[in-house]
Structure 1
Amino acid sequence: MLIRVAVITPEDFAPRITAHAEHFDHMKFSTYIYRNPIECDALVEQIQGCDVLLFAGPLPYFFANKRFTEKRLPSVYIPSDEYTLTLNLGHILLNRSEGLQALSVDTPKRSYLEQAVAEWELDRSKWCVTDYSQIIDGEGTAFDPEQIIHFHRENYRSGRCNFILTSVDYVYEQLKMLEVPCMNMIVPEKSIRETVARAAHFGQLMISENAQIAVGLAAIDQLHEDGEGTKPDAGIMLQQMLLELGKETDASIQQLGLDQFILYGTRGSIEQMTHHFTRMPVMGNMEHLFGVTISMGFGFGMTAKEAEAHARIGLFQARKQSGSSAFLVTHEKEVIGPLSTDNKAFHLKSEDRELLQVAELTGLSIATVSKLSGFIKLRRENRFTATDLSEYLQLSRRSAERILKKMMAHRFVQSVGEEQPYKQGRPRAVYRINF
């Protein structure tokens, strides 16, 4: 069982990660090099054929988060935490004659440094410290490498510090070019080893999941009443397309009737067919040629019966859409779809007590409440209009407003302002979710 790990890292750090391959003979590493962590969003898009992503630190992980979430790939990163800072402060204390009197430090989170300082019982009253806590907490100081470079450079030029400790490779490179005395944080070998072990664990889980039973259902729906002879022709073409997909992904296809087909495979084959659940299998231009839509539902399960039941739920969701679409239902009853690069996910069931309470008090279904929770997790900030919500839920604005009204009655949603995108017309209310 070979676990394929994509390592996203600066070039000079890559050997320290890949050296651990000798301790994990069932792992294969492929490296993807970045210079500035902001580049990692585009870098992940290039990655094909891997089971897990391993990032060299929290910064590349943060900037690539949206991409690997879309690909639904398990991901880990080497931390830059209290343990890392404790090691680095000890290194400076032992190896620099100036000691720790006047430092300029950047760290992902200020509390990491506070804990390391407390461990050493140090006086840091003369230190200059900045952080970029947004990447850890989702709020706080945003990451701006140029601002961090400016911070350190000015501290050194003004005499407020005599040495810089940075946690950002790009910042270190730029400061070296400016001939500012600095040190890139040493990453403890223990942190690398533990992260590689976590990647192996997630990779094993991913491979096990890919062996789950999968069932797909494809159905033809007539767009117009005219043209009695169009459906058989559409059925023949759909069958041919599905058979080709089956050959490519090692899945079997059977015809259930004139307008419906069933597909049997594994989760891995469906993942390949849908490009990590980000697009509907190519159906050509059947809608244009035959005046039909193609609805597809995929289901995963521990048994064929469970997988087929989930596929029928997916097909039901797809048929509710206005055009051709596909939905997928996992064995945890998570519904993903319509399958596209910006697909959405919600749960048909939940064990989250808070979400269950919201559903009970508002009278909304747990699926709707789950969608609302997913809606906020996808957004950078918890601010939205009824139009934003209606577009996400694919409901009319009036339906979205009814949902908001029920939520506001129990203070799960509150109005926090207004926006007026156009010079004319009424302003739109801006809302925030409170759960």
Structure 2
Amino acid sequence: MSDAYEGAMPYRPVVGVVGPTDLVEQIMHLGADLSGDGLEWRLVGVAYEDETEVARELARVEPDLDVCLFAGPLPYDLARKASEIDVPATFIPLSGSALYGALLRAALEDRHDIRRLSVDSIPRREIEDAYTDIGLPIDDVHVLEYQSPDSPAEFVAFHEELYRRGTTTVALTSVRSVAHRLSASGVPVLRTMPTTETIRTALRTAALLGIGNRLEDSQIAIGIVEVPAVAGGPLRTAGDLGYQELRLALHRLLLDEARAMGATVLPRDDHSYHVVATFGSVVAATRDFSVLPFVETARRELGLDVELGIGLGMTARDAEANARTAMSRARGEDGQQSYVVGHDGHVLQLSGRSRTRRATYDDTRIKALDTMARLVDALRDTDGATEAGPVVVDATIVAELLAVTPRTARRLLLSLVELGLAWQMPPLRTPGPGRPRQTYRLLLERFEETDTARA
């Protein structure tokens, strides 16, 4: 990369390239020399020999990725069908220049009659457009479009039947396993492969998605937590001993809650606090803003109704200004709602206060205890780790132990943190690029006490 671009990009995203081995090797090789226009990336190959391996291979590295680039719609859909993809994802299109390249190779290199062929995966409309552009009839071109991850099961029979009848001279497929089976049965076949320019465009798109994801996660989030009243009456003065004790209790509660999301708590005045975090940590702690932080815990443990406003911004000043706007909006609703104001001024209303939340909390508590019990059993079954002192795990370990996706594992760990059954430890920085590894210490002694009481 030339000196003119140095420092032009705020972050060098980690791009996971997911696809069959030969295509991943091609993309990795080209990607090393294709950066430009101020963009660079670090590529991580996620290769498979068989389509059934997609989800397993991706799960091994996904926590370290900023974005996934799939080598076509099939691996993309297979990964999504198996589990949720935690990072932005896109795939390389198989039409456009990839289609023209396959047609040229069929006609010039292998001397096939491209007026009589069968094509899978590519929409018929795009085939018709291509043949119109090159001035060839499409009457004897047969198309079976890709609809879902189950579509490749029909591709082999589709191509084979047409060729055996003498209707076609060659098959074009985008699926490597289909190409292998057709070749083994004697059907002339060519794979639709992305061109260099298609790969360049797809890598650039993926890199921009990764940068956007990282910048979004690193936005500053500032929450204002305020106590408008104490014990149903007017706010008492700072000299009131009872209020001071309550204020200290609230401060401790906020510190405990903030620790679980990697946040900092700062007194704002006698009856309010600033909670400073990153956007990514707030999203994780609130389950995509579906759960209110601080509010329910303060009501449940201290009997306090606190007001909450959260502001996002690329700077602390912008985030605080948006937090004040969110708090003003909450006051306008008589404290019955909480709001988030984004860096672009967009307003998101969070869940309102409800007395039915207690039942939700109880359900969450029961599920967390069951999760902890399953973890303890799995750890004992593996290597007796529960007897060897402090037990520290991360989402990858929990995902393997409980046979769930990494995203589900992270949510389960956060629920354990919320219930006081685990501590979120400082992220472990790695020497290379990628996200820090987030670990959690399981509080087995507290679980045993709670489990005994429950029994």
TM over 0.5: yes
Mark the runs of 5 or more structure 2 residues left unpaired by the alignment: 1-10, 233-241, 352-455
* In structure 2, distance between residues paired with 1:155 and 1:126: 10
Q: Which residue of 2 aligns with 1:147?
A: 154
Which is further off, 34-43 or 172-181? 34-43
Separation (CA, whole Å) in 2 of partners of 1:319 and 1:7: 48
User: Under a length normalisation based on structure 1, what TM-score does the superposition of the two structures give?
Assistant: 0.58
Cα deviation, 1:304-331, whole Å, max 9, x if unaligned, reads: 454234335656899999xx99864322
- From 161, 168, 179, give the equivalent of 1:161: 168
Q: How far, CA to CA, are the matches of 2:180 and 2:299 in structure 1? A: 54
2:238 paired residue number: none
Task: Measure the CA separation in 1 of the matches of 2:328 and 2:20.
Answer: 46
Measured after TM superposition, the shift of residue 32 of structure 1 is: 3.1
* Contact residue 231 and residue 259 of structure 1 kept, 8 A: no
Evaluate the alpha carbon distance shift between residue 170 and residue 315 of structure 1 in structure 2; reply closer, same or farther with a 3 A threshold: farther
Structure 2 counterpart of 1:244, from 253, 259, 262 = 259
* Residue 117 (structure 1) aligned with residue 116 (structure 2): no
Shift in Å at residue 31 of structure 1? 3.0
- CA deviations on 1:403-428 (whole Å, 9 max, x unpaired) are xxxxxxxxxxxxxxxxxxxxxxxxxx
1:8 to 2:18 alignment? yes
- C-alpha offsets along residues 120-170 of structure 1, whole Å, 9 cap, x if unaligned? 2223322211223x68xxxxxx97222333322332343332321012344
What's the counterpart of residue 429 of structure 2? none
SS of aligned partner of 1:152: helix
Q: 2:114 — aligned with what?
A: 100
Amino acid at match of 2:125: S
User: Is the partner of 2:131 in helix, strand or coil?
Assistant: helix
CA separation of 1:23 and 1:125: change in aligned 2, threshold 3 A: closer
If asked which structure has higher relative contact order (CA below 8 Å, sep 6+), I would say: 2
Q: 2: CA distance between counterparts of 1:289 and 1:163?
A: 72
Q: Contact 2:47–2:57 (CA<8 Å) still a contact in 1?
A: no
C-alpha change, 1:43 and 1:253, in structure 2 (3 Å) is same
For 1:21, the aligned partner's letter is A
Aligned match of 1:79 in 72, 78, 93?
93
1:198 CA displacement? 2.8
Supply the distance in 2 between the matched residues of 1:143 and 1:39 (Cα, whole angstroms): 14
Shift of residue 5 of structure 1?
Answer: 1.6
* Residue 127 (str. 1) matches residue 132 (str. 2): no
**Cα deviations across residues 29-82 of structure 1 (Å, max 9, x unaligned)?**
2233454399669957972243333222244445667999985x5444322222
Q: 1:126 to 1:243 in 2, by over 3 A?
A: closer
1: CA distance, partners of 2:157 / 2:79: 25
* C-alpha distance in 2 between matches for 1:280 and 1:66: 30
Alpha-carbon separation, structure 1, partners of 2:53 and 2:190: 21
Structure 1 residue 257 displacement after superposition: 5.9
In structure 2, how many angstroms separate the alpha carbons of the residues matched to 1:178 and 1:66?
30
Aligned-residue Cα RMSD (Å) equals 4.8
**Where does residue 205 of structure 2 map in the other structure?**
198
| Aligned match for 1:332, one of 344, 352, 363 | 344
1:19-418 to structure 2, matched below 5 A, reads 19=29, 20-24=31-35, 26-33=40-47, 35-36=50-51, 43=58, 47-61=62-76, 71=86, 73-132=87-146, 144-176=151-183, 178=185, 180-218=187-225, 235-245=250-260, 248=262, 251-256=263-268, 260-267=272-279, 270=282, 289-290=301-302, 297-311=309-323, 328-335=340-347
- Conserved? CA contact 1:37–1:60, under 8 Å: no
Identify if the C-alpha distance between structure 1 residues 243 and 162 changes in structure 2 by more than 3 Å, giving closer, same or farther: same
What is the DSSP-based 3-state SS (H/G/I as helix, E as strand, rest coil) of the residue aligned with 1:6?
strand
**Contact 1:220 1:235 survives alignment (8 Å):** no
Structure 1 segments unaligned to the other structure (5+ residues): 136-141, 340-435
Q: Could you list the per-position Cα deviations for residues 171-230 of structure 1 after superposition, in whole angstroms to 9, with x for gaps in the alignment?
A: 3345446554322212211111222223333444444445544312346799997xx999
Check conservation: 1:41, 1:66, Cα contact below 8 A: no
Could you tell me how far apart the structure 1 residues matched to 2:228 and 2:52 are? 47
By percentage of residues, which structure has more strand? 1
Instruction: Give the Cα separation in 2 of the matches to 1:188 and 1:28.
Output: 20
Instruction: Name which of structure 1's ranges 282-291 and 50-59 shifts more when overlaid on structure 2.
Output: 282-291
Is 1:103–1:127's contact at 8 Å kept on the other side of the alignment?
yes
Distance 2:83 2:225 in 1: 28
Q: d(CA) in 2 for partners of 1:85 and 1:219?
A: 60
Q: Which amino acid aligns with 2:136?
A: L
Higher mean alpha-carbon deviation, 110-119 vs 26-35, is at 26-35
Query: How many equivalent residue pairs?
Result: 326
Q: Any idea what SS the aligned residue of 1:99 has?
A: coil
Q: Distance in 2 between matches of 1:38 and 1:296?
A: 45
Alignment partners' CA distance in 2, 1:42 and 1:292: 48
**Partners of 2:219 and 2:13 in 1: CA distance:** 17
Distance 1:319 1:266 in 2: 24
The answer for the alignment partner of 2:443 in structure 1 is none
Change (3 A) 1:288 1:278: closer
Change (3 A) 1:301 1:150: same
Asked whether the equivalents of residues 57 and 78 of structure 1 are also in contact (C-alpha less than 8 Å), the reply is: yes
- Could you say if the C-alpha distance between residues 181 and 66 of structure 1 is closer, same or farther in structure 2, counting changes exceeding 3 Å? closer
Post-superposition offset of 1:84? 1.3
Partner of 1:389: none
C-alpha displacement at 1:237, in angstroms?
4.2
- Relative distance call for 1:224 and 1:9 in structure 2 (3 A) is farther
